[in-house]
Amino acid sequence: MDKTEDSGALRRAPSQKRSQERVERMLQAATALIEEHGSDAMRMGEVAERAGVSIGSLYQYFPDKAAIVRTLAERYNAEGRACISDGLAGVRDMDGLLQAFGALIDTYYGIFLAEPVMRDIWSGTQADKALRDIDLRDSRANGALLAEAWQRVAPAAEGEAIERKAFLVMSLGEATMRLAISVERAEGDALVTDYKAMALREIGASG
């Protein structure tokens, strides 16, 4: 099942190609508006106008602005999971895991710095319960990916502890990114560096 369908962000899922293209235009329009002025300033009428659809058509798929933001959040999360899965797929030993996970931290931070829409969505996560729920599900899914690779290179380690620690490492990583983009760049860089050192030390200790 498509993640946006499962989250309830879309009022109804587009089934025909023309409808899918229309929804994609709506999301692209919303993305552009968030980049320009932030999600707080985005209005449904502006999204419809920029997407070239009627306001009624927009409401057919998105009941409110929050549904658009949640759909975009799900999309970014899915892209992030794919990146993590790819990055950890080839891991065969502890050194490889540490190198791969360290590189993923750097990649994630770079994405946050480069994507104003992603920053906007994450900065509003704590104020929106639905976004918090999406964030939690994403942390668990990402933690499961890390745990699978971690257990693969440290088979003697206790599985439940690895799963718990992997979930915590991922959750703290997301919190670190959110904090890092909220402060001055130099301080943010230092926070990410400190998190990276702590996470890799914890992972490496099990090897």
From first to last of its 207 residues, the chain has per-residue pLDDT tens of 333 334 446 666 666 788 889 999 999 999 999 999 999 999 999 999 999 999 999 999 999 999 999 999 999 999 999 999 999 999 999 999 999 999 999 999 998 898 889 888 877 776 778 888 988 999 999 999 999 999 999 999 999 999 999 999 999 999 999 899 889 999 999 999 999 999 999 999 986
pTM for the model stands at 0.84
* Residue 117 and residue 130 in contact, taking contact as beta carbons nearer than 8 Å: no
| CATH 1.10.10.60 boundaries in the chain | 3-66
How far, in Å, CA of 78 to CA of 30, rounded? 18
How far, in Å, CA of 19 to CA of 164, rounded? 41
Q: How many residues does the chain have?
A: 207
* Residue 54 and residue 48 in contact, taking contact as beta carbons nearer than 8 Å: yes
Q: What is the DSSP letter of 206?
A: T
Looking at residue 16, its pLDDT comes to 74
* Residue 80 and residue 104 in contact, taking contact as beta carbons nearer than 8 Å: no
| CATH 1.10.357 boundaries in the chain | 70-205
How far, in Å, CA of 130 to CA of 115, rounded? 21
Looking at residue 122, its pLDDT comes to 79
How far, in Å, CA of 115 to CA of 32, rounded? 11
Distances (CA, A) of 8 to 25, 57, 60, 70, 141: 19, 18, 13, 9, 18
Q: For residue 118, which of 35, 14, 46 has the smallest C-alpha distance?
A: 35
User: Which CATH number is 70-205 given?
Assistant: 1.10.357
Looking at residue 7, its pLDDT comes to 44
Fold of 3-66: Arc Repressor Mutant, subunit A (1.10.10)
> Residue 181 — φ and ψ, nearest 5°?
-85, 0
